[in-house]
A and B are shown apart, each in its own frame.
Chain A
């Protein structure tokens, strides 16, 4: 294995675990100068972690990194920078109140006679902007006055100003509007033509086929394939990305006779994040809501629950149009939301199991109903929380038991519509199964369940119907037991053509 002359960076056998959870297992990646190398995979496949290893943010547990044929070891981002590697993270790393030039040279300001050499800083920034063909951005403008696309250009200039020859981009189009995406493509191609090696992370099919020279696919933290883009079809890619067996057990789905009236309906609903939503969830039904990160899945949940209220269209509960402007209204109407982030938004970690369970009931319901607590033991038994007692602080519980407390909290107000966002994230297999059975049990009792999950097997295994989101709206509906390929095809905007 002598490195080819054009190989800029070679990662070999990279493994990385966080808190004992393996995220990468022996992943390889080789990137050459003047190529756009796409890294693809489902949510959680390990793409971003791999990029952070390359950037020196995470140290790999094992494996080697070679730059221009020489093995290196990065103690931190600065080392990677020195080796000519720069990363543009998903979140922007700019200071809005400072100027473009100040941001570009942040931490590396040129100094002349004890003062920051502002003239040179501005001139060098302008030169880089010109080199990229972005004369429209003035280095002395504050970043807050730029559009998001322009801010991204500044990020890229910031990366290039370190003399980077390897540029990692993590979902660079996630924050851009459609017409800005074209500008970014153009910019990426110009960088490529100037000999920069680009690692391009994305799960948008079209982008990857438009831009990349080669594609590496990861699945569940493992290397699957690396091939020239021209030798792959989108069907191949989807297969490589999802090809796993559905060996897990899920509770029985609803039978036609189990379904009751429509409890939750959206008609032409939308707000700043999502648009043109039309959906119905019946009593007794679990409807899965699939989509990639940023597709607006969680935004639907937040809209229904009044966190980011709908501004257009109609929301109906049991056939009655309702305006849900805040969570309190949602709770009174019988809507419950199990949030994606259990610790930050689901639980008061330092309070007891009992206080957490009664939180919603005390907060949102009036009078005697809020004081009723005789059924607390029954509730906790229903969700099967394992705790030393109802006075134990929830922060001492396992993730699975915490999630059960969150569910108990909502069951305490007997919701009609239950929206669950990533209900089994970060919990073990046993608890996962318990949560699945509980959700199905609730559906059988007449609750309408809308379930969001980025774990496709779970979503497919649980759902009576699957709705797929793409770019802030519904891209399609699939029946129970649809294939992962069909879901992914819709979720990546690949259209109906690849549907199974």
Chain B
């Protein structure tokens, strides 16, 4: 998927090497600076209305919004880094919320089996996605779009609305908080930390970067490329499964369209890209993604506080996304020019 590599760069520019390496602003730094700037501007704007953005309720709001999106986006980061992507997460979230809630059926004793079953279903969908892409060699976009349609068909055929019942005990996951921090947000951050460790410390994680960077180079270096892509998809789907379980605990039941109503498919890809991960793969990471998620969550919270027209909200989100990607592309280009040949 690395079609953007330059072929040959002239001999003269190749010879020169910048003497000192400039410490440059990486996308991760940019995204957190942008987050801080957004929090400052947002506080001022909300403050002008005589309210406070970052009071207990405000922080809680932002983090709650960030929890579900964060879980999906962490998984999405893995597939995108590997040079793939997953459009089926939104329906999978709906499906797993139903699987969890219906298996629990109000019984406390069924919480653990229900969670495990929902995750198993998710892993199965991820496995199918991965195999369709690697073995049948279908393009990831089409393969996961097809999976999304299959899941939608199943959901529409079998459900008309919410179903299942989550026991009170399990609803604590959705509503407990420590100070202004929702317990589930901590779970999300823990998942993100685990994913960060996996990607940046384990061999399998190294291989995801390699496959996304250049699948042919990875293959020639002995990386089991198919296994890496399948693993990324399984992990991505499990992350979507966790999101479904969390949303079930918040809603008290499963809901077929809980994932699609929030647009978690495209939203998660937007968060990943906003966080500085290359859509073509090979570069980026979970840290940036969480930054992207927090920016989107903060924007929403600020707009809600300001009672902004929802259509205008979308316009701003679109502008933010496009600006960010253009900015990263620009930085890449200047880096490339000063550094000479890249690949």
Contacts and interface: CB of A to CB of B under 8 A. Distances in A.
A150 B8 CA distance: 16
Interface stretch (A19-27, A104-112, A350-358, A404-412): A104-112
Nearest to B213: A95
A148 interface: yes
A273 B11 CA distance: 8
Interface stretch (A62-70, A173-181, A194-202, A481-489): A173-181
Contacts of A94: 217, 343
A151 B343 CA distance: 9
Contact of B14 (A107, A108, A148): A148
Interface in B14-54: 14-18, 21
A280 B201 CA distance: 60
Interface string A469-480: 000100000000
A144 interface: yes
Interface residues of B, number: 38
Contact of A107 (B10, B218, B282): B218
A58 to B, nearest CB: 13
Interface stretch (B67-75, B148-156, B333-341): B333-341
A114 B12 CA distance: 44
Contact of B213 (A77, A98, A151): A98
B203 interface: yes
B343 A96 contact: yes
Most chain B CB within a 10 A radius of its CB, from A94, A106, A141: A106
A175 B12 contact: no
A8 B339 CA distance: 39
B298 to A, nearest CB: 29
Contact of B222 (A102, A107, A179, A273): A107
A140 to B, nearest CB: 11
Nearest to B17: A147
B214 interface: yes
A378 to B, nearest CB: 39
Contacts of A144: 335-336, 339, 342
A97 to B, nearest CB: 4
B206 interface: yes
Given A107-B207, A147-B17, 9 more contacts: A81-B222, A95-B282, A106-B221, A107-B222, A108-B222, A116-B203, A148-B340, A175-B14, A180-B14
17 contacts: A77-B222, A81-B222, A93-B217, A98-B209, A98-B213, A106-B218, A106-B223, A109-B203, A111-B202, A111-B203, A145-B18, A146-B17, A148-B15, A148-B340, A148-B341, A177-B15, A273-B10
Interface of B: 5, 8-18, 21, 201-203, 206-207, 209-210, 213-214, 216-218, 220-223, 282-283, 335-336, 339-343
